[in-house]
Amino acid sequence: MRPFSFLLCVTLLAGCERGNDLHRYSGRVLRVGITNSSGGFLATLVRNKPESGCLQLHPEVTATFDGIPLQVFPGAPIIDPDLCNSPDSPPAFTGRLDPQLFLGAPRNGVMEIRDGDESIIAEFRNFFGRHTFAQLNPPPSVKPGEELFLPWDPPTDDLSVIEKVTLLETDVPARPEAGGVRFTIPSDTPTGRVKVIVRGSDIPVERCEGVAGCTADSLLILDRSTLVNVQP
């Protein structure tokens, strides 16, 4: 048993578990996301398939994203090693990223979870990007009933999750294409500047080590809307 873990058990909880090595989480998926527009960060190690027993991280585990230290929640307390009392409370890593990081040139983001010589590493392509429609100036012009292609920034995002856009509180079917989204302006759309809103994209992973999979989404990073000019 590690010295720090031993002292923690003696002083806080008789008979407590010392925690599990990172390799015990190799079958899980690391999910990363931004929780609010202020840059709140959350990553979790979620179950990918049934597991035996109950897992909890060592208290010595550390984590960073883009070199920024994260707070580590080791997971639900282990009361019975053969029974998970809170299987929906996986290990979590929280912190805050500067929102301004998402307004500059796109660049990769790297998360590292370490426990001695063991590690989980995920690198996401252009994590620090706008993750929204490219802001075109002037806005593109289109007539009711015409198709419109709007480019995405950054174009490397996975747009397969996008099935619709919203114009004037009306959902319109959309289809993702390489680097952007295509849809048809409804025939009854009034003329003038119209805001087009879309849900977030998935951010592709370039490196995923130590776990079964790594995912990241851009749902709450920035406002995902742009303006189009609907002509008569």
Q: Quickly list DSSP for 169-209.
A: TEEEEEEEETTEEEEE--TTPPSEEEEEE----BPPEEEEE
pLDDT over 50 at 9, yes or no: no
Q: What is the mean pLDDT of the chain?
A: 88
Distance between CA atoms of residues 129 and 127, nearest Å: 6
Chain-centre distance for alpha carbon 197: 19
The pLDDT score that the predictor gives to residue 86 is 63
What tokens were used for 115?
A: 């426990």
Residue 12: pLDDT band (50, 70, 90) is very low
User: For residues 117, 120, 125 and 129, what is the CA-based torsion angle, rounded to 10 degrees?
Assistant: -100
Distance between CA atoms of residues 152 and 157, nearest Å: 8
Distance between CA atoms of residues 30 and 228, nearest Å: 37
The pLDDT score that the predictor gives to residue 19 is 77
Residue pair 200/219 in contact by the 8 Å Cβ criterion = yes
pTM, 2 dp: 0.85
Residue 214: pLDDT band (50, 70, 90) is very high
Residue pair 188/172 in contact by the 8 Å Cβ criterion = no
SS3 (DSSP) at 165? strand
Distance between CA atoms of residues 220 and 213, nearest Å: 21
Q: Which domains does the chain have, with CATH numbers?
A: 3-129+203-216 (no CATH), 132-199+225-230 (2.60.40)
pLDDT tens, 153-206?
Answer: 999 999 999 999 999 999 999 999 999 999 999 999 999 999 999 988 999 999
Prior bond of 59 cis (ω within 30°): no
Residue 84: pLDDT band (50, 70, 90) is low
